[in-house]
Amino acid sequence: MSLPASKKKILIVIMDGLGDRGCKELGGLTPLQATDTPNLDWFTKNGISGTCDTVDIGVCPGSDTSHLSILGYDPLEVYTGRGPFEAAGIGLIGRKGDVAFRCNFSTCDDNLNVTDRRAGRIDKPDTTELVKALAGIKINGIEAVVKEGTEHRAALILRGNGLSAEVTDADAHDVGPLRLSKGKVPEAEFTAMVLNEFVRETHKRLKDHPVNKRRAAEGLPPANILLPRGAGSFPNIQSFPEKYRMKAACVAGVGMIKGICGVCGLDVIDLPEDCTGGVNSNFISKAKAVMKTLEKYDFVLMNIKAPDVCGHDGDPNLKCSVIQRLDEMAGYFKDNFRDDMVIVFTADHSTPCSLGDHSADPVPITIYTPGNVKDVAAVFSESGCAQGRIGRIRGIHIIPICLDLAGRTEKFGA
């Protein structure tokens, strides 16, 4: 008898930077070990658990590479450098064939000598005004699209036929004469020429801009040139909804995560204002948005940035208090659980407070859906989850495991 396969929905809850190492301030425990988490533990007790190297064993992941992995794209194969993902991270999502660059708003003199690579760390709203003046640049049939990021940062996409990412930076990474871009291969000469022409055009358009006149009057360095670096092609990846035949959405507060998910073809959901992407974010409000999104979608990736911020700040006590609020959020998911749902609790990487930065330590993972095996793991922590039957997996394994539990896998063979 073959029972009718009912397809379940999948929710992956990524508690950003959650993994940690022993903290002196916590008597050698990790923040997860030191915090009482009855709701997360409930999922661990009733589900299957393990540890996960989101990219690979001993590889220290960025937020971009780890999220790609968790979405089932091996970054060792598809990651084409920071350019495209930083661009996507500030909302500039390109398509196959586009070449993306990270840029700085910089200061130069009339002879194009760079005098300040960060234009006095100019920020919004000035950069937003300046970007407007760069709209519609087109050089030899190639469109240039610019968007401002945080502080002096911006992103550039070149779009058109015959482009190549094999060009050097139009940025000397130091003050001094403007460094022109060159093609690393003959096919890239055209792109380098377009890029250099673009840089000159930004100076033409920005040097007498009202924002810069005002800045000069205030004794601030004008942001009168844009310097692109880190060329990268948008990766040629099959979109997530097509690859896994699921309608998919992303619920995240942070630009880069929204960007990665956008590049992978997930719909990015607008959030209430109290979902800030910071430590003060309202996790319950975000969880409500997730459950609402799940009504219309087969798959949701949820990212909560707060624990990562605590790790970068090196503040284990703050991380413990964030974890306590994350556990309340897990309680919300428990109380509002849909039986037609597979839920995953994990992190994109560890951000040990003692390091103040990411590490390659594997992260805990618990997967729960009604009617599955229970294993012996009983505590959601770096060591507790390691007791479970998932063992040690890579990030790219998460989706295949969930698809099977969701009744969405086809048999290989007979």
Q: What part of residues 352-391 is at the interface with its own copies (CB under 8 A)?
A: 354-362, 371-376, 382-383, 386-391
Compare residues 144 and 353 and give the one whose CB is closer to its own copies.
353
- The residue among 7 and 292 lying less far from its own copies, judged by its C-beta, is 7
DSSP sequence for 124-155? TTHHHHHHHTTTT-EETTEEEEEEE-STTEEE
Check: CB of residue 379 under 8 Å from CB of residue 69.
Answer: no
Q: Which of 75, 149, 253, 255 binds its own copies (CB under 8 A)?
A: 75
Contact 379, 41 (CB under 8 A): yes
CA–CA dist 258, 251 (Å, integer) = 8
The residues in 83-122 that bind its own copies, with binding defined as CB under 8 A, are 85-86
Nearest distance from C-beta of residue 356 to its own copies, angstroms: 4
Task: Output 16 or 20, the one with its CB closest to its own copies.
Answer: 20
| Count of residues interacting with its own copies (CB under 8 A) | 72
Residue 397 found at the interface with its own copies (CB under 8 A): yes
| CB of 56 or CB of 267, closer to its own copies | 56
Tokens for 189?
């000469």
Site for its own copies in 299-358 (CB under 8 A): 312-314, 354-358
CA distance 226 to 92: 17
Within 17-46, the residues that bind its own copies by CB under 8 A are 20-22, 24, 28, 30, 33
Name the minimum Å distance from CB 184 to its own copies.
Answer: 22
Distances (CA, A) of 311 to 98, 208, 319: 35, 43, 7
Site string for its own copies, 115-154 (x = CB under 8 A): ----------------------------------------
Could you tell me which stretch among 47-55, 107-115, 163-171, 199-207 binds its own copies (CB under 8 A)?
A: 47-55
- When the beta carbons of 64 and 171 are compared against its own copies, the nearer one is 64
Closest alpha carbon to 377 in 45, 51, 52, 19: 45
Say whether residue 66 binds its own copies (CB under 8 A): yes
CB closer to its own copies out of 334 and 374: 374
Taking each helix axis from N to C end, the angle separating 63-70 and 255-263, rounded to the nearest 10 degrees, works out to 40
Cβ burial, residue 273 (10 Å; 0-12/13-18/19+):
exposed
Return all residues near 54 (Cβ < 8 A) that are at least 6 apart.
Answer: 61, 65, 66, 69, 70, 347, 348, 349, 363, 394, 395
Min CB(352)–its own copies separation in Å? 8
What is the distance between the alpha carbons of residues 354 and 360, in angstroms, rounded to a whole number? 14
Maximum Cα–Cα distance across the chain: 81
Eight-state DSSP code of residue 153: E
Contact with its own copies (CB under 8 A): which of 8, 45, 82, 153? 82
- Pick the binder of its own copies from 63, 106, 107, 191 (CB under 8 A): 63
395 secondary structure, DSSP code: G
Question: Least CB distance from residue 20 to its own copies, whole Å?
Answer: 8
Taking CB under 8 A as the criterion, which residues in 227-286 touch its own copies? Answer: 256
Which H or E run contains 267?
strand 267-268
Q: How far is CA 126 from CA 67, 277, 286, in A?
A: 32, 23, 31
Which C-beta is closer to its own copies: that of 222 or that of 235? 235
Q: Give the nearer residue to its own copies in terms of CB position, either 79 or 198.
A: 79
Please pick, from the candidates 11, 55, 188, 223, the single residue that binds its own copies as defined by CB under 8 A: 55
Integer Cα distance of 382 and 31 in angstroms: 10
Instruction: Find the part of the chain contacting its own copies (CB under 8 A) among 113-121, 207-215, 332-340, 403-411.
Output: 403-411
Smallest distance, its own copies to C-beta of residue 199, A: 24
